[in-house]
Amino acid sequence: MRARAGSMRPSHASRTESANLGPVSLPRKPTVHDLRIDADAQEWQRSGSGRGSIEVAFVDALDEKWVLMRVSGDPDSRVLVYDKFEWECFVDGVRKGEFDDAV
């Protein structure tokens, strides 16, 4: 990136060029439906006993390991899907205290 003479700021052209990378395409995460999983048939582990507690299920589908997460009592029955790597990163962050200040 080039700076203007006498300035530490980048020229307008270089900022425009670096900002104009075009559309970025990210892979779509699979849903429970995509994985052909019956969420109600899974063995869910709960974080607590009341409504609003987190439930987690570990499943094998399409030759991979997946982690399903939902909130008990959610009227929309939404289920989040994480692959094994995403789950391991989350658990590692919990162990390292990365979320201790989140509450």
Predicted pLDDT of residue 25: 75
Predicted pLDDT of residue 58: 97
In a domain, 55, yes or no: yes
pLDDT in tens, 19-60: 666 777 777 889 999 999 999 999 999 998 888 899 999 999
In a domain, 69, yes or no: yes
Write the DSSP symbol of residue 98. Answer: T
**Which residues lie across from 45 on neighbouring strands?**
56
Q: What is the largest CA-CA distance in the chain?
A: 67
pLDDT-based confidence at residue 68 (cuts at 50, 70, 90): very high
Q: Phi and psi for 41 in degrees, rounded to 5? A: -90, 0
Report the mean per-residue pLDDT for the chain: 82
In a domain, 102, yes or no: yes
Buried b (16+ CB within 10 A) or exposed e, 24-61: eeeeeebebeebebebeebeeeeeeeeeeeebbbebee
In a domain, 1, yes or no: no
